[in-house]
Every structure is written in C-alpha cells, then in structure tokens.
Amino acid sequence: MTITDERKKNVDFSVPYFDATQALLTTKKSGVTALADVKSKKLRLGAQAETTGESYATGQGFDPVSFESSDAVLNGLRTGQVDAVVIDYPVVQGWLKDKANADAFALGQN
C-alpha cells in the first residue's frame, strides 16, 4: 500500500521499505511510448480504482477508466477496453515475467 497523507489518517504505517513508482503499460502494437502519446492521440487510459495510479493519472489531466483490481486492469488492456494503463511498477514487472505478456505489452514513459 502506498503511503499518502489521506491514508495516514486511517493507517499507522511502518517505515517505508521501497518506493513504488507508476508505470505506463501499452500494447506493443499501439505505438505509444509515453503518457504524452496517450494524451495527444486522445486514447483511453486505465487504472485500478482508488489507487495511487488512478490519482497519478487524474493529476496528469486524464479521466481514467477505473478497474476494480490489477487483474481487471490487465484484462482491460488485453481486450482493448483501454489503450494504455498506469499502475505500480512492481505490478508491471510481475506481469512482464510472463512470456505472453512480455510479447504483447511494452513499458512506456509516464
């Protein structure tokens, strides 16, 4: 769980043990290499609901399609419901360990 000021109001966090940055994941076929491409091409961006990824996307001026879980985010990208997703980098690292995912998807710059 990412530590935010809002979450600190309800959770007694320990000392952080790593930084989870956000990652942009797209299909290799999309030609999208950066979040700016998503914006300029007016593509659909997805994120997991109520996460720092969704907050990040909103903060960058997007109205992301919200998905209930990280699995739903990946499936949304896989099935074309969205053209790119923003989600925690460690989650993307896990997805890309699967050869089928690594063959289909690419990391972009956010």
Is 56 within the bounds of a domain?
yes
Give pLDDT < 50 ranges for the chain: none
Tell me, yes or no, whether 3 lies in a domain.
no
What pLDDT sits at residue 25?
97
DSSP-assigned letters across all residues of 40-99: HTT--EEEETTSHHHHHHHHTT--PEEESSHHHHHHHHHTTS-SEEEEEHHHHHHHHTSH
In a domain, 12, yes or no: no
Structure confidence at residue 41 (pLDDT): 94
Q: According to the model, what pLDDT value does residue 78 have?
A: 95
Give the CATH number, domain containing residue 97.
Answer: 3.40.190.10
| pLDDT for 49 | 96
In a domain, 95, yes or no: yes
Q: Which domain holds residue 82?
A: 20-108
Structural domains in the chain (count): 1
